Structure 1
Amino acid sequence: MLKEKYSDELYLNLRIITIELENGEIETLLTNLTPKMMTTEDICQIYDYRWGIETNYNTFKNRLNIENYNGTKRITIEQDIYSQFIFYNIICYYNSYLNMLVNLQLSKKGKCDEDDEYQIDQANLIRNLNDGLMKVIVNPIKDNICEFTSDLIWKSSDELNKIKKKYKI
């Protein structure tokens, strides 16, 4: 797409921005925005915001297989898409809830600094939801809900990821 759009151009004015992450990794960004239009700090902030969008696309495409449909009729495809969005909302709810629980527990036990924050592993959460959510939906009795919730908390908080710190410029 870009190739066709800019094929008649002799050259492009591009700017390379190098960002060092807290863990020492280097990120290299390419932009056509001049320093006058947007500072390096502004681009870092936008990149940080955009990263959440990129990870959401990745979740939909690779973990929820949003492009794989169970049929060819329009209504079937729409139902598949809507059900994946509902499932994604469930994932987001449990993700927020479990992250809050995990960080609260680690803080109470003194196992992390106040600057540290951890997240549960999203792929692990999705696997755990796939394993037990249907049982709760089909048979929503108190015992099933309690067992499912307890298992989900236990299994999903087993693997934690430390959240990346903001960029150093």
Structure 2
Amino acid sequence: MSKIRNILFVCTGNICRSPMAEAVMRYRIKKHPKQIDFITDSAGTHSYHVGEAPDFRTIRMCHENGISSEGITARQFSKEDFGKFDLLLGMDKKHVAFMKEAATPQDHPKIHLFMEYAGLGKLDVPDPYYGEMEDFLQVYEMVSKGTESILDMITREIQQTSAAEE
């Protein structure tokens, strides 16, 4: 796990859940007391919104929590992502299945369900696209807890690895 430096969040259209996770993780990394070098990105399993900014409700939810989503644009997941990212997190089980189907067996260990990897249960982060702001708030709360847990876990692993190497 200590080799995780590049994290990809994946949802369906890359305008609601995964860009929110990307923005929140970028914020957490930037605010972290230790200098940590991570690359975060997000992608969608489908090309519905390629080139678009996140959904206005995702932008609003991030903004209301002091988080910038600037620079995030929707893109489609590609097989090349397996070579670029150490950890690929599907926001729901369908995204995990999609990535595993596209992956070679060697890449399967990199693919996880977001909430499960965060140690918060085998939960799907629900798609808020057809919902209201309350649905985006629920997603934000899940993403906030999940990214905090994941960053803490990776940071602990890096510290343990560094201490063992000294």
| TM-score w.r.t. length of structure 1 | 0.27
Which is greater in Rg?
A: 1
Structure with greater helix percent: 1
